[in-house]
Amino acid sequence: MDPYTKHHQNRKNSLFYLLLVLAAAHLLSRKLYLDGDETVRVKKVADLPLRFRSDGTFKILQVADMHYGIGKVTRCRDVLSSEFDFCSDLNTTQFLERIIRAENPDFIAFTGDNIFGSSTPDAAESLSKAFGPAMESGIPWAAVLGNHDHESSMNREELMSFMSLMDYSVSQINPSFDGLTRTTKGGVTTKIDGFGNYNIKVYGAPGSTMANSSILNLFFLDSGGRAFYQGFRTYEGIRESQLNWLQGQKQDPLNPSEDIPLGKPPALAFFHIPIPEIPQLWYKKIVGQFQEAVACPRVNSGALKTFVSMGDVKAVFMGHDHTNDFCGNLDGIWFCYGGGFGYHAYGKPGWPRRARIIMAELKKGKNSWMGVERIKTWKRLDDKKLIKIDEQILWDQRLSR
């Protein structure tokens, strides 16, 4: 073979192998993983971007503290004696299936302690069962970790990686590579603490003037697990590096018009462990029930101050304290518990498990839906009628001017 032909043949071979690599990368980006039968499956991908419905609404189901074990042999905790013999993780599954059918949410947010790590030898199997109804529904969903998820066979990074590979999940291990580090004024580059810090943007209603604009941001943060501080056992909470990342998030400014002012779109935050200021709400007006002491970090990293300074965070949704299900306002931001959802989690006999719903509603312009005008919330109880309680408005743009 002459040098010229050989050169072009090598180029063809190089191009062929490059195409193979790109194809493999594409398949990996579709999240290939193994089922129990050892066959390769391709992740079922959610329709993105998330967007408001054509009726101007976007509904989120918050599921806090499922504490899933291994299924039908995992016993319930803190239920009536008449319920105990027939109660298991399957009650948690049935509740999730019922609430999805009843509310038909656009998005599901799982706010930690999704599995009870100490009750399962196989975290992957437990996660698959816990998130099963969400995956079967085809509804986009995302999750953060609590302080019990990692107590089984996976560490926190592995858990977030696995959850990001599951059907219809839009969970992320952490921000994209470009956003994974932050350079401080002193020139020191630091990594973001934890796994599961990310921002999901929700776009305007189809066909509206805001259809190509992100008009609602959903911030997910890893509030960590256990920690020791000055000899006392406590919780990690949200750390400074995470707050720095959050403040550095580039927001898409809303398009100014006669129907909507110039400014940042509103944002909601989701994490597991409450911030240290939450106990103050015992002395303030709340909506819901404050039934147990707040288990929060001893060290205050300044999360509340950061949320307030950002100006766009209108409400925060937490878990961790299962028999607290209230919303309370701190410095103009609502902090809401989801209330205990799972039956293998501690609770209170006779006090039904519950889920929180968050609804964002758009403003109607002269000819089109515009930006978010109102955010409200309520809860559903796991009783015969899925009773709706404690509906309230968390933010109204007309009242915030």
Residues 1 and 58 placed together within one structural domain of the fold: no
Q: Quote the pLDDT of residue 91.
A: 98
Residues 203 and 299 placed together within one structural domain of the fold: yes
CA distance linking residue 345 with residue 117, whole number of Å: 12
Question: CB–CB of 182/248 below 8 Å?
Answer: yes
Residues 14 and 70 placed together within one structural domain of the fold: no
CA distance linking residue 96 with residue 91, whole number of Å: 9
Q: Quote the pLDDT of residue 253.
A: 55
Residue 242: CATH number of its domain: 3.60.21.10
Question: Which one, of 110, 86, 163, 174, lies nearest residue 319 by Cα?
Answer: 110
Domain membership of residue 39 (yes or no) is no
What are the DSSP calls for 91-120, one per residue?
HHHHHHHHHHHHH--SEEEEES--B-GGG-
Q: Quote the pLDDT of residue 246.
A: 94
Residues 2 and 51 placed together within one structural domain of the fold: no
Residues 162 and 257 placed together within one structural domain of the fold: yes
Residues 21 and 75 placed together within one structural domain of the fold: no
Residues 163 and 18 placed together within one structural domain of the fold: no
Domain membership of residue 156 (yes or no) is yes
Domain span at residue 25 reads 1-29
Residues 289 and 382 placed together within one structural domain of the fold: yes
CA distance linking residue 151 with residue 146, whole number of Å: 10
Domain membership of residue 35 (yes or no) is no
What is the end-to-end Cα distance of the chain in Å, rounded? 77
Token pair for residue 67? 């504490």
Domain membership of residue 346 (yes or no) is yes
Domain membership of residue 40 (yes or no) is no
**Dihedrals φ, ψ of 40, to 5°?**
-80, 130
CA distance linking residue 224 with residue 110, whole number of Å: 15
CA distance linking residue 363 with residue 228, whole number of Å: 47
CA distance linking residue 76 with residue 344, whole number of Å: 5
Question: CB–CB of 334/353 below 8 Å?
Answer: no
Domain membership of residue 286 (yes or no) is yes
Domain membership of residue 94 (yes or no) is yes
Q: Quote the pLDDT of residue 232.
A: 82
Residues 13 and 93 placed together within one structural domain of the fold: no
Residues 141 and 224 placed together within one structural domain of the fold: yes
pTM exceeding 0.95? no
Domain membership of residue 362 (yes or no) is yes
The domain total for the chain is: 2
- Which residue ranges of the chain lie beneath pLDDT 70? 1-40, 176-190, 250-262, 401
Residues 90 and 25 placed together within one structural domain of the fold: no
Residues 118 and 147 placed together within one structural domain of the fold: yes
